[in-house]
Amino acid sequence: MKRERQEESGVDLNLRRFIKNLGYIAGGAALAATVPWLSACTPEKLQEIGRRRARVALIGTGSRGQYHIHNLKLIPHAQIVALCDTYAPNLEAAHALCPEARVCTDYRRLLEDKEIDGVIISTPLNMHAPITLDALAAGKHVFCEKAMALTLDECKAVYEAYQRTDRALYFCMQRMYDEKYIRGMQLIHSGLIGEVVGMRCHWFRNADWRRPVPSPELERTINWRLYREFSGGLMTELACHQLEVCNWAAKKMPQTIVGMGDIVYWRDGREVWDSVNVTYRYSDGRKIAYESLISNKYNGMEDQILGNLGTMDMTRGLYYLEEDRSQSGVRQLIGQVRDRVFASIPAAGPSWRPELRSEYMPHPVIEGAVHVNGGQNMIGVDEDGSDVILSAFCQSCITGEKAENVVEEAYCSTVLCLLGNRAMEERRFIEFPDEYKIPYMKF
């Protein structure tokens, strides 16, 4: 009875409710066409696996790895069997969370273990591609944190390895598994906000990104995000998610990139920028305006899709219409009075209308409470899709089924992040290089 109650709670129950809720969005057969990656983790397939559990190992047991442990322990079809890390304090902390798991410091030894079905990679970015390639070659299913890789050539190598393997490969593009993003995207593609004319994303924090270092020789091991040998900075750590959303909305890839990156405030020996502004231009003239800095948090995080009839605020699960006819009669009356007053002022002209954001009426994209990620947490938050995509990976470890488009979307967004860094480094317009185009892309 205790086991049955466990199976009716946690991540799997969320997954069943999640996909059931999508029924009113797309309907059975249409679900596969609009969000094909969900076809690998339907409730029916979850039921088919019965009481089988995916035997998974974590490579990288820092804050993000321990966040995944938290979610894995809520997934009935997951079993953590091994942990690996080169930094002893992290490994010990993770082992305290799951003492039944065996531990090691060399991931290659772990890959030799035939009892392990899949690995979850939560290492610094520079190790994402090498470990992913080794794990696929060893016959393991792989779940890797974003971004896909530190270099463009590594991205291509991972993508090509995936084409050759029968193993499942996931990257943690959790917005693809977040109900409010899926519902919002389907409303966009239905024409609710009209023609998409632009995209505007930003991610602001006020923190130095540093963690305490017990000894100077561990500086780069612990604060790897600050050094180019290990990290792509704000673009690969933050923008990767948001650029994927923009391409999802546009249904195509940008052709030209330009940007500026600087160290504005945190002049503490770091090598990556603490302020970036990048513009991505599509072939039809639409643009993504991307901005991130980590010395002011006022604006938080937003993913906005702009249409000629309205705006979709993906982060909050809200949309706003340019001409909103759902306003109350009182509000409409106030608006009419206001417009008549201003229209009588010659300097304003008869075509004047309010341009303030506060004039727009918010409409929710899904019913009930919506979890909003303010963008300040550096480790991970609950109910942002991370638990659902991790559950889907464990399911694939059992069934062997690949999730459509997840690797391709991770490849596209990571390449755009790296090209954004290149544009800022070289201070010039970058045309998307032909050698990194894949058949999945449309321009």
pLDDT at 43: 77
What residues form DSSP beta bridges with 121?
59, 144
3-class secondary-structure state, position 33: helix
User: What is the residue-wise DSSP string for 151-180?
Assistant: SHHHHHHHHHHHHH--S-EEE--GGGG-HH
Beta strands in 223-359 (DSSP E): 256-262, 275-281, 287-293, 301-307, 310-313, 318-321
Q: Which residues contact 315 (CB under 8 A, 6 or more apart)?
A: 301, 302, 303, 372, 373, 375
Q: Which amino acid, 425?
A: E
pLDDT one digit per residue (tens) for the chain, 443 residues:
333 333 444 555 555 565 665 544 444 455 666 789 988 887 788 888 889 999 999 999 999 999 999 999 999 999 999 999 999 999 999 999 999 999 999 999 999 999 999 999 999 999 999 999 999 999 999 999 999 999 999 999 999 999 999 999 999 999 999 989 999 999 999 999 999 999 999 999 999 999 999 999 999 999 999 999 999 999 999 999 999 999 999 999 999 999 999 999 999 999 999 999 999 999 999 999 999 999 999 999 999 999 999 999 999 999 999 998 775 444 544 455 444 443 433 333 333 334 555 678 999 998 877 777 776 665 666 668 899 999 999 999 999 999 999 999 999 999 999 999 999 999 999 999 999 999 999 99
Q: Which CATH superfamily is domain 190-324+360-381+409-436 in?
A: Dihydrodipicolinate Reductase; domain 2 (3.30.360.10)
Q: What is the pTM of this model?
A: 0.89
Nearest to 201 by CA among 131, 249, 148: 249
User: What is the residue-wise DSSP string for 212-255?
Assistant: --SSGGGHHHHSGGGSTTT--HHIIIIIHHHHHHHHHHHTS--S
pLDDT at 17: 60
pLDDT at 6: 39
Residue 295 DSSP code:
B
In total, the chain counts a number of residues equal to 443
Q: Where in the chain is the domain with CATH 3.40.50.720?
A: 2-176+384-403
pLDDT at 8: 42
Q: Where in the chain is the domain with CATH 3.30.360.10?
A: 190-324+360-381+409-436
pLDDT at 371: 75
Cis amide bond preceding 82, omega within 30: no
- End-to-end, the C-alpha distance of the chain in Å comes to 54
- Domain at 2-176+384-403, CATH from 2.10.70.10, 3.30.70.100, 1.10.10.10, 3.40.50.720: 3.40.50.720
pLDDT at 7: 42
What residues form DSSP beta bridges with 303?
201
Q: How far apart are CA 365 and CA 313, in angstroms?
A: 9
Residues 230/224, Cβ–Cβ less than 8 Å:
yes
Nearest to 209 by CA among 299, 122, 295: 295
Pairing relationship of beta strands 196-204 and 256-262 according to DSSP bridges: unpaired
3-class secondary-structure state, position 431: strand
Q: How far apart are CA 96 and CA 143, in angstroms?
A: 22
What distances in angstroms separate CA 336 from CA 75, 83, 198, 330, one per listed residue? 54, 64, 29, 10
